[in-house]
Structure 1
Amino acid sequence: MKLKLVAVAAAALAPVVAMLVYNEFALRAQRNEEVRANAAQAAREASSEVERIIEGVRAMLVSVSAMPAVRHLDAASCSESLKSVAENVPNVRTIFVLDPKGSPICCSQPINAGTTFADRDYFNGVIDSRQTVVGTYTMSRVSDTAVLPIAMPLMEGDNLKGVVVTGVRLDWLQNRITERGVSPGNAVAIADGKGTILARVPFPERFVGTVIPDEFQSLIHADEPGVIDVTSQDGTERILGYRPIALPGSPLYVSAGFSKKEAFDQINRSTLASGLGIVGGVLLAFLAAFLIGNRFLLAPIERIAATMDRWRNGETKARTGMRGPDELSAVGATLDGLLDELDRRRLETERGVEERALLMRELTHRVKNGFTLVQAISRQTFSKVEPERYHSFSERVAALARTYDLLLSKETTSSSVREVIAAAMEAHLDGGCERIRVDGPDVVLPADLALPLSLVVHELATNATKYGSLSSETGKVSIVWRKERERLDLTWTESGGPAVDAPARKGFGSVLIERAFPSKARSVSRSDYLSEGLVFELSFAAGELESLSQVSADGVAEQGT
């Protein structure tokens, strides 16, 4: 019952739990989409700012290229002009002009003699393309600091007169990203075309100047921007929005990552609170199911069951004593009423049994007096005239009296099959016990089976005496029984008497034979009226029969009767 109550509570909570779980998944899916959109937006904003910085530097180089001192390649005045410009542009450290062979012509600050830039990728890129080139992470040979070089061709018509070069200070770029601010757990990174990190928040000291791992190199040159889930180099799980350098106007790779832990922190706290609430609710529901179930369901049911057990064990006065408006109290009150009614009927039955027993004893006494009176009359009538016939008649009357005493007595006890047959047959013998053959094991029958068997054998013997084999001097009767598991099979066979015919109608004796046994015995009988005599077969269930001994006898006299 307790498990059923728990099942009911679980069934009641199941829809609520299912709804909370669904809401949890829906919120997480919605939050995931929001974070991915924010990551893509952050990457776009960072990329736009980088583009503005690069575009500003390019505009500055265009202005420098237009200065007369630069265009005439006057080393002294060119250097002064470049120095003046560099001092007013905080995001660059130096500006210098190279000839087509890579040697310095003028510079915003002194350059060591013999220094050449012919091996630099950005210089060769301008020579080959005649266009502005954004280089890669470079240690400047002028300032000896990390810069992002930007070079522009100095053209005169179709002729390349030189290359104007500057470098965006990476420390300035780092400070610019840091000043923009990044939420805890999030990250922004800028890398060049080779994947070298130019600026990063957080942990710039660990990652600036290092190359992005191979598994992320494909993002740098991807065909279009995107958002992916990654585990960053610092071990943080992030949702990463990225902008590759292949995009128009995007000379650098930019990525913005949002920490999953921080992004889902509020939802995780809400999930934890909801989970604890669900667990608490489940525990409270189960506790309530146990307490309320014990108080209002289990206790009344156990009380009713205990009352029934006590009543079954003989406490006829046991009652639930339940009263109340609820259904189980009504059941208990109804049970009390039923037990009261059964108690009343039991008392009436006991009084009826006592009255019947008194009447039966009176009837037995009167029947025995009747047989005594018949014996007295016969003695006075025949004892002196025909003493032998009187003696035979007297014995049969006495046997018949004993049989009726057995049939009418309510104090009958268990008897063996042999004793029952002997008592039933004694009234029908006239000194001819050799005409009766009895064969079978000595099996003890309970009183409720011994009496029906006595009635059946007595009726068969009466019919045999009237119409069958015992009505002639040569007739015989064979009574044989055997035990088969829990059933007793008995066969009554007549022979040597007059020819018999099946009766035209069913008399009282036949009805008595069919209905003598109680229903629990499941008795079955069959009568065959053969020309040589009646054959009657009887089978009934006798439970666990008790065998005394296996004996064979050829006459009633062998039974000690």
Structure 2
Amino acid sequence: MVRLSLAQRIVAITAAALLPILGVLVYNEAALRQNRGTEIRALAIATAEQAAREMERLTSGADGILHAMAAAPVVQRFDIEGCSNFLVHLAPALPQFTRISILDLEGTVVCGSDPTAQGLDLSDRPYFTEALANGGRLVVGEYTVSRVTGDKVLPLALAILGADGQPRGVVATSMDLDWLGATLRERQLARNGSLTIADRNGVIIAREPFPERFVGTAIPEAFQPLVRAGAPGSIEVTSQDGTQRILGYIPAGLSPVGLYISTGIAREEAFGPFDAAARRTLALVLAAVIVAGGLSWFLGQRLVRGPVSQIASALAARRAGDEAIRTNMCSRDGEIEALGATFDSYMDELNTSREERDRAEAALRATAAEKERLADRNELLAREMSHRVMNSFQLMESIFALQTRRVADPLARRIITEAEERIRSMALVHRQLFQITRDEMQELDAAAYLGGLTRDLVLAFVKGDAVRIEVDAEAGVALSPGQGIALGLLVTELVLNAIKHAFKARDQGTIRIVLGAASSSQLRLIVEDDGTGLPAAEARATATGVGMKLLDGFLRQLEGTLTVEGPPGTRFVVLFPISVQAGPRTEPEAPLIGAV
């Protein structure tokens, strides 16, 4: 529980009253910011589409120029001298192109605006083969560094078609990326905005700002999926220049000119006014909270804390022994004063009932003493009863031992010896039950019970280390005392049977006892050995031994079932309900399962 002073509680109540207002303000701010984000994303995509149309306009102009060149008679005739003169005189009027070349079908430069390129083999350039296969349509190539000048260019190529419509060569040129950058720069980007144009491989051919840093470099791998995306979109990213932007992009596959185009709007510029308004709103809210808190504190001190302190002082004096202390408050003055008046009334009643309380406490002390005396007496009686039961078991065991020495018949001696062993095992079960349930008679811990019982069995019936008994009981399994008796006797009978019969041809052996949950309503007990195993199934089915009759009785007390497995070894598996209160039963005996 949170501990707060009275003044803090008043401030907390005031804060709770302000919370709905703050919630509305926060919600409105979040909604405005979300709407603004949607608008900015739409604007970024629209700006990217506008840039794509601009690039389409530029390439459309280049397409018209290249078609005009391809249709020129000197080019159609591949007149080397006439073609060269034509292109040399034409080049100054086309500053967007670095050079213009006419290539034959083998990719060799036949003529061009740069005479030094004549004879150059460009057949390995992708734009050459694409132009021949593109049926007279303009091919926008990939970012390239010119072999002759070393300039960064964007190749453009168009097939020269003959009268029969078949390619006769290629007119190729390169768009000057510096010119392209200067042309795009005239678009006047928004402050801290960005514009990126890349070829279909994601290599940047134009970039604002910082073109000198990025032109010719590949778009980072993290942004490459935007180049190959299936639809235009927007995303908020931190650009390569470190500025946070909302980016609108057109994938290369959807751009009219086969180029990737993206425009970015700086997040600071897009949300700057909203952030400033949010800061002003926050400042006003904080000021209102401070004023409200101050007023609550002041009024709480004057109207609440003073009367409460008066009541607290009276309580402290009463605790110190001043029975005459009173607050002298009147219930008509307010709720807190009514509390003080109630305190005064209570003090009067408390003084009046002092003698009755003392008498009641004396009676309680006497009752507690009597209960303790009875508990000690019950403990003594329980110990005495257990002691007498153990003495009775020992007397019976001694009587059977005397009888064994007097009987000469081997069968009778064996029967009396088995009875003596069972009396001893019952005594062990009784001792373990008494030790475990002496403080709590409702249930016993199965793991502790079986562990103690097997230790006693080893001490009583195993010579040396001939037989080792292992116990694996699931933690937390609890048995009723009735279940404990039946289960203990059943385990004892199975263990004694294994000790006597399972290892006749061996010096050593192991008996393993496992107890755990078989389902939500059943427990499973397993007693198994690694001995020679039981007789054949036919012999077990007709056996009528006393041990098997005892097992059958224990099973009926547990409401359990028994299955026997083996050889090799012998494995007894018992399933019985978790919550059954085992005890004597009067039902007819069940058929025997097998001899023990």
DSSP 3-state at the match of 1:264: helix
Whether the 8 Å contact between 2:87 and 2:100 is mirrored in structure 1 is: yes
Checking the alignment, whether the CA contact within 8 Å between 2:110 and 2:119 is kept in structure 1 is no
Q: 1:331 and 1:160, CA in 2 relative to 1: closer, same or farther beyond 3 A?
A: closer
Q: Is this contact kept in 1: 2:310–2:327, CA < 8 A? A: no
Structure 1 residues 329 and 4 mapped into 2: Cα distance closer, same or farther (>3 Å)?
closer
| Cα shift readout 1:77-125 (whole Å, capped 9, x = no counterpart) | 2222223332112211222211111222221232245422122111121
Supply the AA of the counterpart residue of 1:161: R
Q: 2:216 aligns with which of 198, 209, 214?
A: 209
1:121-132 aligned at under 5 Å gives the runs: 121-131=126-136, 132=138
Equivalent residue, structure 2, for 1:4: 9
Secondary structure at the counterpart of residue 258 of structure 1: strand
Aligned ranges 1:56-455 → 2 under 5 Å: 56-112=61-117, 114-131=119-136, 132-157=138-163, 158-247=165-254, 249-302=256-309
Q: 2:36 aligned with 1:36, yes or no? A: no
Distance 1:262 1:316, change over 3 A: closer
How far 1:142 moved relative to its partner?
4.5
User: Which 5+ residue runs of structure 2 have no aligned equivalent?
Assistant: 1-5, 349-353, 357-361, 368-596
Q: Secondary structure, in 3 states, of the residue corresponding to 1:173?
A: helix
| 1:514-555 alpha-carbon deviations (Å, 9 max, x no partner) | xxxxxxxxxxxxxxxxxxxxxxxxxxxxxxxxxxxxxxxxxx
Question: 1:254 deviation in Å?
Answer: 0.5
Deviation at 1:20, TM superposition (A): 1.2
Shift of 1:2: 1.4
Query: What's the counterpart of residue 396 of structure 2?
Result: none
Residue deviations 1:165-213, cap 9 Å, x none?
A: 1111100111122221223332210001111100111221211101112
2:308–2:336 Cα contact (<8 Å) kept = no
Question: Displacement, 1:55?
Answer: 0.8
The answer (yes or no) to whether the contact 1:228–1:240 under 8 Å persists in 2 is yes
Q: SS state of the match for residue 147, structure 1?
A: strand
CA distance in 1, matches of 2:202, 2:121: 26
- Alpha-carbon separation, structure 2, partners of 1:174 and 1:251: 18
Amino acid at match of 1:10: A
Q: Is the 8 A contact 1:188 1:200 kept in 2?
A: yes
Whose radius of gyration is greater, 1 or 2? 1
What is the one-letter code of the residue matched to 1:216? F
How far apart, in 2, do the equivalents of 1:23 and 1:318 lie? 51
Q: Secondary structure at the match of 1:77?
A: helix
CA separation of 1:147 and 1:326: change in aligned 2, threshold 3 A: farther
Give 1:63 shift.
1.5
**Unpaired segments of 5 or more residues in structure 1?**
343-445, 449-481, 488-561
Hey, what's the Cα distance between the residues in 2 that align with 1:196 and 1:76?
Answer: 37
CA distance in 2, matches of 1:85, 1:57: 14
Tell me how far apart the structure 1 counterparts of residues 227 and 317 of structure 2 sit (CA, whole Å): 87
TM-score, L = length of structure 1: 0.54
1:188 alignment partner AA: L
In the alignment, residue 280 of structure 1 is paired with which amino acid? A
Q: Partner residue of 1:385?
A: none
C-alpha distance in 2 between matches for 1:224 and 1:247: 7
Q: 1:15, 1:198 → 2: CA distance? A: 54
User: What SS does the aligned partner of 1:233 have?
Assistant: coil
Q: Distance in 1 between matches of 2:254 and 2:161?
A: 27
Instruction: Count matched residues.
Output: 345
1:32-71 CA distance string (max 9 Å, x none): 1111101111110111101111111001111122222222
Query: In structure 2, the residue corresponding to 1:209 is in which secondary structure?
Result: coil
Shift of 1:273: 3.0
Opposite residue 173 of structure 1, the aligned amino acid is L
Change (3 A) 1:185 1:313: same
Whether the aligned pair in 2 keeps the contact of 1:94 and 1:143 (CA below 8 Å) is no
Deviations 1:256-304 (A, max 9, x none): 1223333222223333333333333323222211112212332355457
Q: C-alpha distance in 2, partners of 1:42/1:285?
A: 48
Change (3 A) 1:483 1:79: closer
Structure-2 separation of matches of 1:113 and 1:47: 35
Kept in 2, the 8 Å contact 1:223–1:244? The answer is yes
**Equivalent residue for 2:351?**
none
Residue equivalent to 2:60: 55
Question: Are the counterparts in 1 of residues 247 and 264 from structure 2 also a CA contact under 8 Å?
Answer: yes
Contact 1:94/1:107 (8 A) holds in 2: yes
Mapped to 2, the partners of 1:19 and 1:447 lie a distance apart of 60
Aligned mates of 1:136, 1:71 — CA distance in 2: 27
Give distance in 1, aligned partners of 2:307 and 2:61. Answer: 89
Mark the CA change 1:313 to 1:151 in structure 2 (over 3 Å): closer, same or farther.
same
Instruction: Tell me the SS of whatever aligns to 2:186.
Output: helix
User: Judging changes above 3 Å, is the alpha-carbon distance between structure 1 residues 22 and 447 closer, same or farther for their aligned structure 2 residues?
Assistant: closer
CA contact (8 A) 2:229 2:251 kept: yes
Deviation at 1:146, TM superposition (A): 1.3
Normalised TM-score (structure 2)? 0.51
Q: Percent identical across equivalent pairs? A: 36
Residue 23 of structure 2 aligns with which residue?
18
Aligned equivalents of 1:149 and 1:37: distance in 2? Answer: 32
